[in-house]
């Protein structure tokens, strides 16, 4: 449920919305339209956006194995999908619980922070270029949230994992 609307609907329990609330509602509807437009752009141009990011990433990390770069790209493709939906819902918790909280330790364990930090920079730069100013402003808080949570923690030791079954 869209958080902005939720508050208004709850407030309207026993009365018609007052003029100020109607203005707010209209504003949220307008914003929702812009959110939807941005969401649709990101959905329709996902491949092109990430192809451009992938090309730059490969140029920046020529010695890293392709598989490692692909893993990072998958993380951020996923993160942008969830960020886009969080933007549409105007709900940072959605992003937090559905992906970030779950992905953080995987980024740490595979020691991908350096690559993913650069990837997020390239992605942000690229999105700023291809999205409208308004669209980018709507998406930016969710990109920042992703960067802060996925990339800010200090790296712990990364144990070598063998699939359990061989030794316990």
Partner 1 sequence: MIDITSLLKDRPLKGNYFAPDAYLQGDNEFGLLENRSGARLLAIPDTLLKGLFTALEEELGSGSGVALFSCGRSWGKSFYNRFADELAGYYEKPLAQMEMIQFLQCLKECWKTHGWGVLDIDLKYYQQGFIVAKVINSAYIANAPQGKRPMGFLEAGILSAFFSQLTGQDLNCVQTTCESLGAESNTFIIGMKDRVKSVSAWLEEGHDHATIMELLCRQQN
Helix (H) or strand (E) holding 55: helix 46-60
DSSP helix, strand, coil percent of the chain (3-state; round to 5)? 75, 0, 25
Instruction: Say which DSSP state 124 is in.
Output: H
Per the CB < 8 A criterion, the answer to whether 130 and 38 are in contact is no
Q: What's the CA dihedral at 23, 25, 28, 29 to 10 degrees?
A: -110
Stretch that binds partner 1, among 11-19, 23-31, 127-135, 159-167 (CB under 8 A): 159-167
Asked if residue 44 binds partner 1 (CB under 8 A), the reply is no
Contact with partner 1 (CB under 8 A) among 78, 117, 128, 145: 78
The footprint of partner 1 on residues 87-106 (CB under 8 A) is 93-94, 97-99, 101-103, 105-106
Binding site for partner 1 (CB under 8 A): 46-47, 50-51, 54-55, 57-58, 66, 69-70, 73-74, 77-78, 81-82, 93-94, 97-99, 101-103, 105-106, 109-110, 157, 159, 161-165, 167-168
């Amino acid at each position: 449920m869209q958080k902005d609307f939720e508050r208004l609907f709850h407030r309207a329990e026993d009365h018609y919305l007052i003029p100020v609330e109607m203005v707010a509602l209209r504003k949220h509807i307008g914003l929702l339209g812009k959110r939807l437009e941005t969401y649709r752009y990101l959905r329709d141009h996902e491949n092109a956006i990430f192809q451009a990011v992938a090309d730059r990433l490969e140029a920046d990390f020529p010695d890293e194995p392709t598989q490692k770069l692909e893993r990072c790209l998958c993380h951020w493709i996923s993160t942008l999908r969830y960020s886009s939906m969080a933007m549409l819902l105007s709900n940072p918790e959605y992003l937090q619980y559905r992906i970030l909280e779950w992905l953080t330790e995987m980024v740490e364990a595979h020691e991908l922070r350096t690559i993913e930090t650069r990837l997020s920079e390239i992605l942000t730069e690229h999105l700023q270029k291809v999205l409208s100013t308004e669209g980018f402003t709507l998406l930016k808080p969710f990109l920042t949230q992703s960067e802060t949570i996925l990339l800010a923690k200090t790296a712990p030791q990364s144990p070598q994992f063998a699939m359990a079954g061989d030794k316990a």
